[in-house]
A = this chain, B = another copy of it.
Protein backbone atom coordinates (compact mmCIF):
# COMPACT_ATOMS: atom_id res chain seq x y z
CA UNK A 1 0.00 0.00 0.00
CA UNK A 2 1.53 3.30 -0.99
CA UNK A 3 -0.74 5.50 1.13
CA UNK A 4 -0.39 5.71 4.88
CA UNK A 5 -3.04 4.49 7.25
CA UNK A 6 -5.62 7.10 8.16
CA UNK A 7 -5.31 8.35 11.72
CA UNK A 8 -5.41 11.58 13.63
CA UNK A 9 -1.68 11.25 14.12
CA UNK A 10 -1.20 11.30 10.38
CA UNK A 11 -3.31 14.43 10.13
CA UNK A 12 -1.30 16.16 12.79
CA UNK A 13 2.00 15.23 11.20
CA UNK A 14 0.77 16.62 7.89
CA UNK A 15 -0.01 19.89 9.63
CA UNK A 16 3.44 19.97 11.19
CA UNK A 17 4.99 19.26 7.82
CA UNK A 18 3.16 22.18 6.28
CA UNK A 19 4.33 24.47 9.05
CA UNK A 20 7.93 23.34 8.70
CA UNK A 21 7.91 23.64 4.93
CA UNK A 22 6.48 27.14 5.13
CA UNK A 23 9.25 28.14 7.53
CA UNK A 24 11.92 26.47 5.43
CA UNK A 25 10.77 28.43 2.45
CA UNK A 26 10.44 31.81 4.16
CA UNK A 27 12.90 31.91 6.99
CA UNK A 28 10.78 33.62 9.62
CA UNK A 29 7.02 33.97 9.83
CA UNK A 30 4.38 34.79 12.39
CA UNK A 31 1.75 32.17 13.10
CA UNK A 32 -0.79 34.28 11.24
CA UNK A 33 1.54 34.32 8.21
CA UNK A 34 1.87 30.56 8.32
CA UNK A 35 -1.88 30.15 8.50
CA UNK A 36 -2.43 32.47 5.54
CA UNK A 37 0.32 30.84 3.52
CA UNK A 38 -0.66 27.23 4.15
CA UNK A 39 -4.41 27.83 4.12
CA UNK A 40 -4.70 26.05 7.46
CA UNK A 41 -6.74 27.73 10.18
CA UNK A 42 -5.11 29.88 12.82
CA UNK A 43 -5.92 27.74 15.86
CA UNK A 44 -4.47 24.68 14.17
CA UNK A 45 -1.27 26.48 13.31
CA UNK A 46 -1.14 27.85 16.83
CA UNK A 47 -1.23 24.31 18.23
CA UNK A 48 1.26 22.97 15.72
CA UNK A 49 3.75 25.74 16.42
CA UNK A 50 3.44 25.14 20.15
CA UNK A 51 4.08 21.42 19.63
CA UNK A 52 7.08 21.96 17.39
CA UNK A 53 8.53 24.67 19.64
CA UNK A 54 8.22 22.38 22.64
CA UNK A 55 9.96 19.65 20.68
CA UNK A 56 12.76 22.13 19.99
CA UNK A 57 12.31 22.14 16.23
CA UNK A 58 11.07 25.72 16.08
CA UNK A 59 11.88 28.74 18.15
CA UNK A 60 10.64 32.27 18.71
CA UNK A 61 13.30 34.42 17.09
CA UNK A 62 12.65 37.26 19.53
CA UNK A 63 11.74 39.52 16.62
CA UNK A 64 8.35 41.19 16.54
CA UNK A 65 6.23 42.60 13.78
CA UNK A 66 6.14 46.36 13.31
CA UNK A 67 3.36 48.33 11.70
CA UNK A 68 -0.36 48.39 12.26
CA UNK A 69 -2.10 45.82 14.34
CA UNK A 70 -1.15 43.70 17.25
CA UNK A 71 2.51 42.68 17.58
CA UNK A 72 3.25 39.34 15.97
CA UNK A 73 5.89 36.85 17.14
CA UNK A 74 8.27 35.64 14.50
CA UNK A 75 9.12 31.96 14.54
CA UNK A 76 11.80 30.14 12.61
CA UNK A 77 13.61 26.82 12.64
CA UNK A 78 15.56 26.34 15.84
CA UNK A 79 19.14 27.60 15.53
CA UNK A 80 20.54 24.18 16.46
CA UNK A 81 18.80 22.37 13.62
CA UNK A 82 22.19 21.55 12.20
CA UNK A 83 23.55 21.68 8.71
CA UNK A 84 24.47 19.42 5.83
CA UNK A 85 27.98 18.80 4.62
CA UNK A 86 28.54 19.43 0.95
CA UNK A 87 31.86 18.40 -0.51
CA UNK A 88 33.38 18.31 -3.93
CA UNK A 89 36.39 16.11 -4.53
CA UNK A 90 38.35 16.62 -7.70
CA UNK A 91 41.98 16.72 -8.81
CA UNK A 92 41.86 20.47 -8.16
CA UNK A 93 41.31 19.79 -4.51
CA UNK A 94 38.63 19.45 -1.90
CA UNK A 95 35.91 21.99 -1.23
CA UNK A 96 33.79 21.35 1.83
CA UNK A 97 30.82 23.48 2.81
CA UNK A 98 28.11 23.47 5.42
CA UNK A 99 24.64 24.35 4.20
CA UNK A 100 21.60 24.97 6.37
CA UNK A 101 17.98 24.09 5.68
CA UNK A 102 17.47 27.36 3.82
CA UNK A 103 20.22 26.41 1.40
CA UNK A 104 22.45 29.11 2.86
CA UNK A 105 26.19 28.64 3.02
CA UNK A 106 27.17 28.54 6.69
CA UNK A 107 30.82 27.63 6.54
CA UNK A 108 33.41 26.71 3.97
CA UNK A 109 36.73 24.94 3.95
CA UNK A 110 39.06 24.55 0.99
CA UNK A 111 41.97 22.16 0.68
CA UNK A 112 44.29 22.14 -2.30
CA UNK A 113 45.48 18.70 -3.24
CA UNK A 114 48.20 18.05 -5.72
CA UNK A 115 47.40 15.88 -8.71
CA UNK A 116 49.65 13.31 -7.14
CA UNK A 117 47.82 13.26 -3.81
CA UNK A 118 47.35 9.73 -2.53
CA UNK A 119 43.95 8.31 -1.65
CA UNK A 120 45.10 8.41 1.93
CA UNK A 121 45.69 12.16 1.76
CA UNK A 122 42.34 12.79 0.09
CA UNK A 123 40.53 10.72 2.69
CA UNK A 124 42.29 12.55 5.52
CA UNK A 125 41.52 15.93 3.99
CA UNK A 126 37.84 15.01 3.77
CA UNK A 127 37.69 13.76 7.33
CA UNK A 128 39.52 16.81 8.63
CA UNK A 129 37.32 19.25 6.76
CA UNK A 130 34.17 17.52 7.96
CA UNK A 131 35.46 17.57 11.51
CA UNK A 132 36.31 21.27 11.39
CA UNK A 133 32.94 22.24 9.95
CA UNK A 134 31.10 20.07 12.41
CA UNK A 135 32.72 21.88 15.31
CA UNK A 136 31.53 25.23 13.94
CA UNK A 137 27.87 24.29 13.52
CA UNK A 138 25.55 24.37 16.57
CA UNK A 139 23.53 21.33 15.59
CA UNK A 140 26.38 19.49 13.90
CA UNK A 141 26.34 17.90 10.47
CA UNK A 142 23.26 15.76 10.00
CA UNK A 143 23.79 14.52 6.47
CA UNK A 144 26.37 14.77 3.73
CA UNK A 145 26.25 15.15 -0.01
CA UNK A 146 29.43 14.46 -1.90
CA UNK A 147 30.42 15.19 -5.45
CA UNK A 148 33.31 13.21 -6.88
CA UNK A 149 35.06 13.63 -10.20
CA UNK A 150 34.92 9.89 -10.84
CA UNK A 151 32.23 7.30 -11.46
CA UNK A 152 30.38 6.41 -8.26
CA UNK A 153 28.94 3.03 -7.40
CA UNK A 154 25.30 3.64 -6.65
CA UNK A 155 24.94 0.86 -4.12
CA UNK A 156 27.95 1.59 -1.94
CA UNK A 157 28.82 5.20 -2.77
CA UNK A 158 32.36 4.12 -3.54
CA UNK A 159 34.37 5.59 -6.40
CA UNK A 160 35.01 3.05 -9.13
CA UNK A 161 37.53 2.84 -11.90
CA UNK A 162 36.30 1.70 -15.27
CA UNK A 163 38.82 0.02 -17.58
CA UNK A 164 40.82 2.59 -19.50
CA UNK A 165 38.65 5.51 -18.47
CA UNK A 166 40.13 8.54 -16.72
CA UNK A 167 40.31 8.01 -12.97
CA UNK A 168 40.97 11.37 -11.44
CA UNK A 169 40.44 11.12 -7.71
CA UNK A 170 41.22 7.47 -7.12
CA UNK A 171 39.81 4.72 -4.95
CA UNK A 172 37.84 6.39 -2.20
CA UNK A 173 34.91 5.42 -0.01
CA UNK A 174 33.36 8.65 1.29
CA UNK A 175 30.57 6.84 3.10
CA UNK A 176 33.01 4.91 5.24
CA UNK A 177 35.20 7.97 5.85
CA UNK A 178 32.31 10.13 6.98
CA UNK A 179 30.40 7.47 8.88
CA UNK A 180 31.82 8.47 12.30
CA UNK A 181 31.23 12.19 11.63
CA UNK A 182 27.77 12.27 10.09
CA UNK A 183 24.74 10.95 11.92
CA UNK A 184 22.52 10.51 8.89
CA UNK A 185 22.75 9.64 5.25
CA UNK A 186 25.86 10.18 3.15
CA UNK A 187 24.97 10.66 -0.49
CA UNK A 188 27.67 10.35 -3.13
CA UNK A 189 27.35 11.01 -6.83
CA UNK A 190 29.42 11.90 -9.83
CA UNK A 191 30.21 15.58 -10.43
CA UNK A 192 28.63 15.51 -13.88
CA UNK A 193 25.34 14.34 -12.43
CA UNK A 194 25.41 17.14 -9.88
CA UNK A 195 26.23 19.64 -12.60
CA UNK A 196 23.23 18.48 -14.62
CA UNK A 197 20.97 18.93 -11.61
CA UNK A 198 22.38 22.41 -11.10
CA UNK A 199 21.67 23.40 -14.72
CA UNK A 200 18.14 22.13 -14.32
CA UNK A 201 17.70 24.04 -11.10
CA UNK A 202 19.06 27.40 -12.12
CA UNK A 203 21.01 27.22 -15.33
CA UNK A 204 20.24 26.69 -18.98
CA UNK A 205 17.89 23.74 -18.49
CA UNK A 206 15.41 25.22 -16.01
CA UNK A 207 12.15 23.34 -16.15
CA UNK A 208 13.41 20.93 -18.79
CA UNK A 209 12.58 17.37 -17.84
CA UNK A 210 14.53 15.51 -20.47
CA UNK A 211 18.02 16.54 -21.39
CA UNK A 212 21.54 15.29 -21.61
CA UNK A 213 24.50 17.03 -20.03
CA UNK A 214 27.85 16.29 -21.61
CA UNK A 215 30.97 17.17 -19.66
CA UNK A 216 34.12 17.60 -21.69
CA UNK A 217 37.05 18.35 -19.43
CA UNK A 218 39.88 16.33 -18.05
CA UNK A 219 37.41 13.52 -17.77
CA UNK A 220 34.57 12.65 -20.13
CA UNK A 221 31.14 12.23 -18.70
CA UNK A 222 27.51 12.56 -19.38
CA UNK A 223 24.38 12.85 -17.26
CA UNK A 224 21.06 11.63 -18.55
CA UNK A 225 18.05 13.49 -17.18
CA UNK A 226 14.76 11.80 -17.84
CA UNK A 227 11.38 12.79 -16.46
CA UNK A 228 13.02 15.48 -14.38
CA UNK A 229 15.60 13.38 -12.62
CA UNK A 230 19.13 12.24 -13.28
CA UNK A 231 18.97 8.54 -14.13
CA UNK A 232 21.96 6.78 -12.69
CA UNK A 233 21.34 3.22 -13.86
CA UNK A 234 21.86 0.01 -11.94
CA UNK A 235 25.40 0.55 -10.68
CA UNK A 236 25.33 4.33 -11.05
CA UNK A 237 27.45 4.22 -14.17
CA UNK A 238 24.91 5.61 -16.62
CA UNK A 239 26.58 8.25 -18.76
CA UNK A 240 30.09 6.85 -18.57
CA UNK A 241 30.78 7.54 -22.20
CA UNK A 242 34.55 7.18 -22.37
CA UNK A 243 34.16 3.80 -24.02
CA UNK A 244 31.25 4.56 -26.26
CA UNK A 245 32.15 3.86 -29.89
CA UNK A 246 32.15 6.91 -32.06
CA UNK A 247 33.84 8.27 -35.17
CA UNK A 248 37.61 8.45 -34.94
CA UNK A 249 39.92 10.88 -36.77
CA UNK A 250 40.02 8.69 -39.90
CA UNK A 251 36.31 7.96 -39.85
CA UNK A 252 36.52 4.44 -38.44
CA UNK A 253 34.75 3.60 -35.23
CA UNK A 254 36.67 3.72 -31.95
CA UNK A 255 35.98 4.40 -28.29
CA UNK A 256 35.68 8.08 -27.46
CA UNK A 257 38.68 8.04 -25.17
CA UNK A 258 40.81 6.50 -27.95
CA UNK A 259 40.15 9.51 -30.14
CA UNK A 260 42.15 11.60 -27.70
CA UNK A 261 44.85 8.99 -27.43
CA UNK A 262 45.19 8.90 -31.21
CA UNK A 263 45.53 12.67 -31.30
CA UNK A 264 48.09 12.62 -28.51
CA UNK A 265 45.86 14.56 -26.19
CA UNK A 266 46.02 12.29 -23.17
CA UNK A 267 48.14 13.04 -20.18
CA UNK A 268 51.30 11.00 -19.67
CA UNK A 269 50.83 7.76 -17.74
CA UNK A 270 47.14 8.38 -17.44
CA UNK A 271 43.89 8.19 -19.31
CA UNK A 272 42.93 11.74 -18.39
CA UNK A 273 42.73 14.29 -21.15
CA UNK A 274 45.52 16.86 -21.38
CA UNK A 275 43.35 19.94 -21.49
CA UNK A 276 46.21 22.41 -21.97
CA UNK A 277 47.49 20.47 -24.96
CA UNK A 278 43.97 20.20 -26.33
CA UNK A 279 43.39 23.92 -26.00
CA UNK A 280 46.72 24.62 -27.66
CA UNK A 281 45.92 22.59 -30.75
CA UNK A 282 42.25 23.62 -31.07
CA UNK A 283 42.37 27.33 -30.38
CA UNK A 284 43.12 29.81 -33.09
CA UNK A 285 41.78 30.53 -36.55
CA UNK A 286 44.30 28.53 -38.53
CA UNK A 287 43.15 25.56 -40.53
CA UNK A 288 44.92 22.94 -38.45
CA UNK A 289 43.08 24.06 -35.33
CA UNK A 290 39.77 24.10 -37.17
CA UNK A 291 40.44 20.59 -38.46
CA UNK A 292 41.20 19.29 -34.99
CA UNK A 293 38.07 20.95 -33.64
CA UNK A 294 36.06 19.24 -36.36
CA UNK A 295 37.56 15.86 -35.54
CA UNK A 296 36.70 16.28 -31.88
CA UNK A 297 33.25 17.64 -32.66
CA UNK A 298 32.51 14.61 -34.85
CA UNK A 299 33.56 12.30 -32.07
CA UNK A 300 31.34 14.14 -29.62
CA UNK A 301 28.46 14.05 -32.10
CA UNK A 302 28.69 10.28 -32.22
CA UNK A 303 27.97 10.32 -28.49
CA UNK A 304 25.18 12.85 -28.92
CA UNK A 305 23.54 10.74 -31.64
CA UNK A 306 23.56 7.73 -29.36
CA UNK A 307 22.14 9.79 -26.51
CA UNK A 308 19.39 11.15 -28.75
CA UNK A 309 18.47 7.68 -29.96
CA UNK A 310 18.36 6.17 -26.49
CA UNK A 311 17.19 9.04 -24.28
CA UNK A 312 15.39 11.45 -26.63
CA UNK A 313 16.44 14.67 -24.89
CA UNK A 314 14.83 18.03 -25.51
CA UNK A 315 18.19 19.71 -25.17
CA UNK A 316 21.87 18.91 -25.03
CA UNK A 317 23.93 20.88 -22.54
CA UNK A 318 27.66 20.97 -22.93
CA UNK A 319 29.98 21.87 -20.10
CA UNK A 320 33.54 21.23 -19.02
CA UNK A 321 36.81 23.10 -19.39
CA UNK A 322 37.22 22.62 -23.12
CA UNK A 323 33.70 21.56 -24.11
CA UNK A 324 32.12 24.86 -23.12
CA UNK A 325 34.63 26.83 -25.17
CA UNK A 326 32.66 28.97 -27.68
CA UNK A 327 34.58 27.85 -30.75
CA UNK A 328 34.27 24.22 -29.71
CA UNK A 329 30.54 24.47 -29.02
CA UNK A 330 30.03 26.16 -32.36
CA UNK A 331 31.83 23.36 -34.20
CA UNK A 332 29.83 20.74 -32.34
CA UNK A 333 26.63 22.58 -33.28
CA UNK A 334 27.60 22.62 -36.94
CA UNK A 335 28.43 18.94 -36.99
CA UNK A 336 25.38 17.94 -34.98
CA UNK A 337 23.06 19.89 -37.28
CA UNK A 338 23.87 17.34 -39.99
CA UNK A 339 22.47 14.52 -37.92
CA UNK A 340 18.94 13.49 -38.94
CA UNK A 341 17.75 13.76 -35.34
CA UNK A 342 19.48 16.75 -33.81
CA UNK A 343 18.32 18.84 -30.89
CA UNK A 344 19.36 22.29 -29.64
CA UNK A 345 22.70 22.56 -27.91
CA UNK A 346 23.18 24.90 -24.96
CA UNK A 347 26.25 25.95 -23.04
CA UNK A 348 26.37 25.19 -19.35
CA UNK A 349 25.86 28.34 -17.30
CA UNK A 350 26.24 27.54 -13.64
CA UNK A 351 29.50 28.36 -11.85
CA UNK A 352 30.99 25.44 -9.93
CA UNK A 353 27.98 23.42 -11.00
CA UNK A 354 28.93 20.26 -9.13
CA UNK A 355 28.83 22.20 -5.87
CA UNK A 356 25.67 24.09 -6.77
CA UNK A 357 23.83 20.87 -7.54
CA UNK A 358 25.06 19.13 -4.42
CA UNK A 359 24.18 22.16 -2.28
CA UNK A 360 20.60 22.20 -3.50
CA UNK A 361 20.21 18.52 -2.82
CA UNK A 362 21.85 18.85 0.59
CA UNK A 363 19.34 21.50 1.64
CA UNK A 364 16.54 19.33 0.36
CA UNK A 365 17.70 16.24 2.21
CA UNK A 366 18.29 18.25 5.36
CA UNK A 367 14.72 19.51 5.18
CA UNK A 368 13.40 15.99 4.81
CA UNK A 369 15.53 14.88 7.72
CA UNK A 370 14.15 17.67 9.91
CA UNK A 371 10.58 16.81 9.01
CA UNK A 372 11.14 13.13 9.67
CA UNK A 373 12.72 13.86 13.04
CA UNK A 374 9.89 16.18 14.00
CA UNK A 375 7.39 13.52 13.07
CA UNK A 376 8.97 10.76 15.12
CA UNK A 377 10.26 13.19 17.73
CA UNK A 378 7.04 14.32 19.37
CA UNK A 379 5.35 10.97 18.90
CA UNK A 380 6.66 10.27 22.38
Residues of B within 8 A of A237 (CB): 312, 341
Contact partner of A310 (CB less than 8 A), chosen from B246, B252, B307, B340, is: B307
Within 8 A of B (CB), among A200-258: 209-211, 222, 224, 226-227, 229, 231-241, 243-247, 251-253
Contact with B along A99-135 (1 / 0, CB 8 A): 0000000000000000000000000000000000000
Q: Which residue of B lies closest to A13 (CB)?
A: B6
Minimum CB–CB distance from A245 to chain B (whole Å) comes to 6
Q: SS class of chain A's interface: helix, strand, loop or mixed?
A: loop
With A305-B245, A306-B306 as contacts: A312 and B252 at CB distance below 8 Å: no
Instruction: Place the interface of chain A in its size category.
Output: 35 or more
Are B5 and A244 closer than 8 Å at their CB atoms? no
A3 on the B face (CB < 8 A): yes
A314 on the B face (CB < 8 A): yes
Residues of B within 8 A of A261 (CB): none
A359 on the B face (CB < 8 A): no
Are B311 and A238 closer than 8 Å at their CB atoms? yes
| One of A14-22, A81-89, A276-284 contacting the partner | A14-22
A302 on the B face (CB < 8 A): yes
Q: Which residue of B lies closest to A25 (CB)?
A: B1
Q: Which residue of B lies closest to A227 (CB)?
A: B231
Residues of B within 8 A of A227 (CB): 229, 231-232
Are A312 and B235 closer than 8 Å at their CB atoms? yes
Q: Which residue of B lies closest to A11 (CB)?
A: B6
A341 to B242, CA, bound (A): 12
Residues of B within 8 A of A340 (CB): 163-164, 243
Within 8 A of B (CB), among A1-43: 1, 3-8, 10-12, 14-15, 17-18, 21, 38-40
A309 on the B face (CB < 8 A): yes
A162 on the B face (CB < 8 A): yes
Contact partner of A5 (CB less than 8 A), chosen from B39, B162, B233, is: B39
Jot down 30 A-B pairs with beta carbons below 8 A, ordered by A: A1-B18, A4-B14, A5-B18, A5-B40, A6-B12, A6-B14, A8-B11, A10-B14, A162-B341, A163-B340, A209-B234, A210-B233, A224-B311, A226-B226, A232-B312, A234-B312, A234-B314, A236-B312, A237-B312, A238-B310, A240-B309, A240-B312, A243-B341, A244-B310, A245-B302, A251-B252, A251-B253, A306-B306, A310-B311, A311-B311
Given contacts A5-B14, A5-B18, A163-B341, 20 further A-B contacts (CB under 8 A): A1-B38, A5-B38, A6-B11, A6-B15, A7-B11, A8-B11, A163-B340, A164-B340, A211-B234, A222-B310, A226-B231, A227-B229, A238-B310, A238-B311, A240-B309, A240-B312, A241-B309, A243-B340, A245-B247, A253-B253
